[in-house]
Structure formats: C-alpha cells, structure tokens
Copies of this chain bind each other. A is one copy, B any other.
Amino acid sequence: MTDAAAQVRADLDRLLPVLDAELTAPFRTGEAPRLGEAIRYSLEAGGKRVRPVLCLLASEAVGGTVAQALPGALALEYVHTYSLIHDDLPAMDDDDLRRGRPTNHKVFGEGHAILAGDALLTEAFGVLASAALDPVRRADALALLAEGAGWRGMAGGQALDLEGEKHTTPPDLEQLRLIHRLKTGALLRASLEIGAVLGGATPAERSALRAYGAAIGLAFQIQDDILDATATEAELGKRAGKDAGRGKITYPSLLGLDGARKALHEATENALCQLASLPIRSSLAAWARYLAQRAS
C-alpha cells in the first residue's frame, strides 16, 4: 500500500462510522415506508463516500471540526446518491447494475426511483437548513450546494452529456471539459468549499479549497474514463467499457490512453499546489494522489 493509500484508509476508518451513524437516520420511520426503503437501499449500497469525506477533511484543513461540517457532508452524500438513482433510469444512462447490486428502479420501479431521488435531493437541503450551525455559514453552504447541484452545475452537466449522445459530429476537448466541469466537477468543488465554509475558512483558504476541488474533480473524471476503458466489470462493480461501447466521448478516446494519463498527472499536481497555504494538508494531499491511483 502506498503512503497516500494508507492515509486515505486511516481517514476512512475514522470518518465513515461517523457518517454511517447519521446517513439513514432521517429515512427510518415515516408515513411512506416503501419510499423510505427505496431511499435507504441506495444510501446503504456503500460507495466510496468521497464527497462527504472530502467535506469533513476540508473543515479540518482550515482548523474546523468534523461535527461542524457533518450536516454538509450528509447533504452532499444525499445529492450524490440522488444523482446516481436518476442517472441510472432508463431515460438516462439505463443501467441495471450499480456497485454490484441491481439499480434502484430495478428493485422498486421507476416511479419510486424518481421519487427516492427527489426526496434525497430535498432532504439534502433539509438537513443543512435545520442544523444547529452559525446561520450565515449555513446559508452560504446551502447556496453552494444549490449552485453545485443545479442547472449551472451537476444537473446542467447531465443534460449536456445526454445531448452529446445524440450528436453525430464528434465533440472536442473543450466541450468534454465543460460537461465534466458541470457534471462531476461542480459537486466535488462544492464539497470542498462547503467544508471550508462550515469549518470557518478565511476567504483565501476557501478559494484555495475551491480550486483544489476543481482540480481533483477533473482528475477523478479522467481516471474514471481510463478505468472504463481498461478495467474489468468485476473490478468496477458495474459494466466496463459502457461509455466507449455506446460511442460516448471520453478522455482516452480524445487524447489516447497516454495523453489521458498525462492530463491526469497534471490535474493532480495542480490540486497539490493549491494546498500550500492551508494549516493542515496531509490528508487532502493523500486524497489527491489516491484518486489518481485508484483501481475502481
């Protein structure tokens, strides 16, 4: 195991139990039990919890606590989980498998999958709005979440991605970057900036963490494309080669595998540069290196 992987493992061992203790709490008892079950099914499917963990680490990196950033971390995982449920729908990416299990709509039906996503998105804002936090920081975090998730962020990127599949002319690198900056980059960037805000960052720290988030968001997407092109289904827990197989644009298809690996290295170096001015940076540095090395 590399040093970066060991640091990431230590962070996960410390932070995942804190997240898991709270994550499904709002959805355990209620008047719509079948919908609650559908929501918990996707929240409990595991996954790497990258966004909430980075949010908590960003708070710590500026001298804040895990407790201060926890409502933001939960909100980010709700938004991420909703986006996976909706992206898997037949009208979107039409996937039957997610993290090695049947997708939400395969188990609960399309109607409940749409509503489970809707309810998760709503609760993301609910958990932040009702948290006992400084009201100005809380409002800032809510605005950042909306910006990262909405039509100027993730939802807009998903729409462009969907439109791209229907185009007959191949897209260029600029268009690919735009799609990913919105589709995956915006929420990752928001994860870091929400952690920064809730942890009490200075304006300079906040913008350094925002830039770090943008850089690892890009690295994350390039590595995703590389894995899709090179890994097996067993390694990924989902269909491999599906993007290339349906003629979707990817970094390797535009830059070649070597070109994509070079772009990944540059994005990672850029992320590391952004951390120079932060009081505590070993965890976030390890995560940047780890995300570029990961095999699934």
Contact = CB atoms under 8 A, between A and B. Distances in A.
Interface in A124-171: 125-126, 128-130, 135-136, 138-139, 142-143, 145-147, 149-152, 155-160, 162-163
Interface in A91-136: 91-92, 109-115, 117-119, 121-123, 125-126, 128-130, 135-136
Contacts of A136: 135
Oligomeric state, in number of copies?
A: 2
Interface residues of A, number: 55
B125 A142 contact: yes
A204 interface: no
Contacts of A163: 34
Contacts of A109: 91
Contact of A160 (B32, B86, B110): B32
B114 A156 contact: no
A90 B122 CA distance: 22
Nearest to A155: B119
Q: What's the dominant secondary structure at chain A's contact region?
A: helix
A156 B157 CA distance: 28
A19 interface: no
Given A91-B114, A112-B162, A123 B142 contact: no
Nearest to A126: B146
6 contacts: A32-B157, A91-B113, A122-B149, A126-B143, A129-B146, A135-B138
Contacts of A159: 32, 34-35, 111-112, 115
Interface string A61-95: 00000000000000000000010001001111000
Given A31-B182, A32-B156, A123 B139 contact: no
A112 B160 CA distance: 10
Interface string A180-197: 001000000000000000
A36 interface: yes
A39 to B, nearest CB: 7
A41 interface: no
A184 to B, nearest CB: 15
A123 to B, nearest CB: 5
Interface string A259-294: 000000000000000000000000000000000000
A113 to B, nearest CB: 8
A27 B151 contact: yes
A254 interface: no
